[in-house]
Amino acid sequence: MNGIDVDVLRTAIDWQDRGHRVVLGTVVRTWGSAPRPPGSLMIIRDDGQVAGSVSGGCIEDDLIGRVARGELASKLPQLTTYGATAEEAQRFGLPCGGTVQVVLEPLSARSQLRELLAAIESHRLVSRRLDLATGVVKLEDADGGTTLSFDGASLVTVHGPRLRLLIIGGGQLSRYLAGLAVMLDYRVTVCEPRAEYHEGWEAMEGVTLSRSMPDDLVLAMHLDANSAVVAVTHDPKLDDLALMEALRTPAFYVGALGSRRNNEMRRQRLLQFDLTPDEIARMRGPVGLKLGGLTPPEMAIAIVAEMTAMRRGVDLSGPLADWSGSTTSCAISAAATAAALR
């Protein structure tokens, strides 16, 4: 579950505590070009206030009115569909004839939002099963897999830890990378044992500065499949320590800054740490998509783009990820390093 949806849950609990009636909407199915994917959340308060979104603004006004009039989810959860016909899709502004199905659930103590939020904040992966006939909710530990399923009678959603990014090194590139990652809802930790790079990090919202050694920090963080690691110091004494532990974890992305030659040398060094060839092959290096960037902000964009592609399961065998035969990777790494030292 991303931070935006976590904020929706917190707001729903706050509204309930203040005595408001609250209805939770969850996108369960889409067809065609729908503005928001399945799993998107929205809450509607009894006075018309809303948080979150199920369509990017296309159907929200109609939902607010129908909920206020008691036409939807007055006592029990209810399924509603928008855009079933071309005429209705056009009326609500759904693009390309898109169709959206939303389950609306009147919230109460049995909705177990507090328990769900507590599980998420303790980094547990939890499934929430809603019985539409009774409104009863059941929470169970989950082991990954499908994040949402709906059979018409019950809605099962899987919620878990927010995305995490561990950046090794606190130079200029790291600041741009951390800023972009925070905007994409990563909880960012910057590992920087060198005191000369510490200034200013404490003031950066959404970022934690750690002074631990990289290998110790990787082990302490218990990286999971929602975690990414990027090493950008160009110092093998720091980068390699992180990589040798990170490549053994389920982290979905592990990358290292540097030219093709430097990364090949790094792979040879990692073999000395009892890593298998398959584990070493997981490392992305040169790090980032081949976008032609030369400045630290451009490099940060390339790295975050590659992280996003990996997380979304995009095939990275194309030209944007192919550094073979490239002469620009050395220039990009050198430019980023030089800028970080200024």
The domain segmentation of the chain, as residue ranges, is 3-159, 164-341
* Residue pLDDT tens, the chain, 342 long: 556 778 899 999 999 999 999 999 999 998 765 567 888 899 999 999 999 988 766 788 888 999 988 888 899 999 999 875 555 545 555 554 568 899 999 999 999 999 999 988 777 888 999 999 999 999 998 876 678 899 999 999 988 766 899 999 999 999 999 999 988 878 899 999 999 989 888 878 879 999 999 999 999 999 988 899 999 998 888 999 999 999 999 999 999 998 888 888 888 898 888 888 999 999 998 888 988 888 999 999 999 999 999 988 888 776 776 656 554 444 444 444 444 434
Give the Cα separation of 327 and 146 in Å (integer). Answer: 41
First-to-final CA distance of the chain = 38
Domain 164-341 carries which CATH code? Answer: 3.40.50.720
Residue 105's pLDDT is: 96
Give the Cα separation of 316 and 279 in Å (integer). Answer: 18
Residue 134's pLDDT is: 95
Beta carbons of 161 and 227 less than 8 angstroms apart = no
Q: How far is CA 11 from the centre of its chain?
A: 20
Residue 55's pLDDT is: 76
Q: How many CB atoms lie within 10 A of CB 19?
A: 7
Please give the structure tokens belonging to residue 46: 């009894």
Report which secondary-structure segment, H or E, holds 259.
Answer: none
Residue with tokens 């959340």: 41
Residue 329's pLDDT is: 45
Residue 61's pLDDT is: 87
Residue 332's pLDDT is: 46
Residue with tokens 């003031």: 203
Residue 5's pLDDT is: 79
